[in-house]
Every structure is written in structure tokens, then in C-alpha cells.
Amino acid sequence: MSNTPFVESLSNDPVEQAIARKVNRVLNDTTLDRQRRETLVRKAQRELIEHRKRKEQQAALLQQVAAIKLPRGYQAHSVAVSDGRVQVGTLNRQQGFAWLDAGKAPQGADATRRPMQLPRPAKAGRGGVRKDLARSLAERRKALGYGQAATGA
């Protein structure tokens, strides 16, 4: 039985945590012989290396897309690599979806994967209307004298 702690199990990345759990299960499996155990651990190491490489490529693509100035009214939706070029999927209310060229792809960008959806920015105005409504209701209740009865004064 192995009780070896892995750094990947402390990672914030759920994929790295899953790989660490897989390796731990392999090391603790008594039905596997040494050769099979080594093969499975090496396979997990390759998966981890590929995952980290893919993460770096995605970060490079996101950085390249963030630097692009899109035409007015367009919002970036997804990113893909095709024929060594970065393609940005954009949305426009009037014209729908369109692919725009964003330049040459970073070295080693994977063109065989499907398009990656971009993270959506948080809306700044969220909750503002509800707070204004709650404040105005509280002011109205106070003006009508309901606030005093609720506080016991």
C-alpha cells in the first residue's frame, strides 16, 4: 500500500486532482504486477504533461485573443486554430455568428481540437436594480410608518 502524497492532489485544477487520484489507486491496487503498475503510472504522467501543455496553449490563445481589437458590435465567443491561424468566433446581434482571423497561431498550438469557448465576463450591473428596489421600498415603508412598528419603537 502506498501513502505517497502527490502535489497534483493539492492543485486547484480538477484534471490534475483526478490524475493524482488515478495514480494513487494504481499504486494501491494489489492485483497489478509491477510492470503493469509502471505502465499505468507512465500513462498518467503523459496525460498530466499533455494537460499542462494544453493549458499553456490555451493561455497563449486567450492572451492573443484579448489583444485583438474586434469590429464594433462584435463580442468574442470562441477560439479555434485552423491551418496555423487563430480564428475567433464572434457574436453580433444583427448578423449572428462569424469567424474572424486573429493572426498566426502560437508555436505548438493544437489544430485538431474543437473550438474552445471563451470565459464570459461577469456582468457589472448585476444586483444593482434589486438593491435600488430594496432601498426604495425601505424608504417608503419608513415614510408610511411601517418601519417603526417592525422595530418595536
78 in the same domain as 58:
no
In a domain, 122, yes or no: no
E strand spans, the chain: 75-82, 85-92, 96-104, 116-117
Check whether residue 74 and residue 40 sit in a common domain.
no
Name the packing angle between helices 34-66 and 14-28 (round to 10°).
180
For residues 150 and 58, the model is more confident at 58
Do both 78 and 55 map to the same domain?
A: no
Q: Grade residue 49 by pLDDT with cuts at 50, 70 and 90.
A: very high
- Output 43-50 pairs: Cβ under 8 A, ≥24 positions apart: 44/19, 47/19, 48/8, 48/16, 48/19
Residues 13, 39 within the same domain: yes
Asked if 15 and 46 sit in the same domain, the reply is yes
Residue 38 scores a pLDDT above 90: yes
Looking at residues 77-88, what average pLDDT do you find?
A: 79
pLDDT classification of 121: cutoffs 50, 70, 90: low
126 in a domain, yes or no?
no
Q: Is residue 136 part of a domain?
A: no
Domain ranges, residue 110: 69-117
Q: Is the pLDDT of residue 19 over 80?
A: yes
- Please indicate, yes or no, whether residues 13 and 30 belong to a single structural domain of this protein: yes
What is the count of structural domains for the chain? 2
Asked if 36 and 52 sit in the same domain, the reply is yes
Q: Report residue 101: phi and psi, to 5°.
A: -75, 130
Q: Closest by alpha carbon to 79, among 118, 119, 120, 121?
A: 118
Distance CA(11)–CA(48), nearest Å, equals 12
Whether 142 is in a domain gets the answer: no
